[in-house]
Amino acid sequence: MELVDIGANLTHAAFRDDLEAVLARARAAGVGAVVVTGSTVGESAAAAALAEAHPGALWATAGVHPHHARECDAATIPALRELARHPRVVALGECGLDFHRNYAPHPDQERCFLAQLELACELGKPLFLHSRDAHPRCADMLRAQRGRLPRAVAHCFTGERDELRAYLELGLHIGITGWICDERRGRHLLALVREIPRERLLLETDSPYLTPRDLRPQPRARRNEPAHLAHIARSVARALGRPPEEVAAETARNARAFFGLPADEPGPAPAPQRALAA
């Protein structure tokens, strides 16, 4: 039974010393593919190189996270356009708006986001979106591109019903992380996940962040990793009242269709079904 992790920051320093062991644990947990997130031009190039070194297991995105919007300059979009040509780069992003941390001024965030939106529309490349405390502005910017907007996923969705409905109305896919396992902040997702059309539900870890709070035992230094996607899949399945194997298979198919990942590319062997047993 296969799982696909649509967002993991595997170029993060937290994985510098044991990435191969991390990937082996992911394979053992049934994770057949991981999309490595690009958050700056440099990190996107590193993500593409990492994916190239692990064919059949890793893919990559290329983009500039809103935290780094100040770094967007005249060279940024040409660099992303070139990275988008890489055969292992399957989406543009992580891009969007973050009005929670506000590491970059809102005008800089919007300018950088719009430039990447326009590039995705030009190339017809799927979008890997970030929005935190930025609704409805993020939805408004997406809506302005309606009619030419490519496939897009609301990565790490943690919002409320009005935000979910806005994204669904725009045709977005929805990425669910271990936030749904957080009894303090994620309880609302247990109900909202039932409103996501089955064909638009995707799963992700956002490693090394968002370690599921109910995971036992907790990993060292609370570092999240793709192997924990099986735990997230079980949590989502319980919320949906469906078998975890069914949810895993369905979300994996959705991910492969969304990113255009070949189903027949040689990759890690799937884990036995008991990996997802309740």
Task: Express each pLDDT in 49-89 by its tens digit.
Answer: 999 999 989 999 999 999 999 999 999 999 999 999 999 99
Q: How many domains does the chain have?
A: 1
Residue type, 146: R
Range in 75-79, 100-104, 112-116, 268-272 the model is least confident about: 268-272
Q: What is the pLDDT of residue 264?
A: 56
Q: Is the predicted pLDDT of residue 208 greater than 80, yes or no?
A: yes
Return the residue matching tokens 């999309």: 35
Q: Is the predicted pLDDT of residue 277 greater than 90, yes or no?
A: no
Can you give the CATH number for the domain in which 160 is found? Answer: 3.20.20.140
Residue type, 2: E
Q: Is the predicted pLDDT of residue 250 greater than 50, yes or no?
A: yes
Joined tokens for residue 237: 């399945």
Q: Is the predicted pLDDT of residue 265 greater than 80, yes or no?
A: no
Compute φ and ψ for 228, nearest 5 degrees. Answer: -80, 0
pLDDT bucket at 270, cuts 50 / 70 / 90: very low
**Whole-Å CA distances, 159 to 61, 188, 203, 221, 277:** 23, 9, 16, 27, 29
Domain coverage including residue 102: 3-276
Q: Is the predicted pLDDT of residue 128 greater than 90, yes or no?
A: yes
Question: Average pLDDT of 20-34?
Answer: 98
pLDDT bucket at 1, cuts 50 / 70 / 90: confident
Question: Average pLDDT of 187-214?
Answer: 98
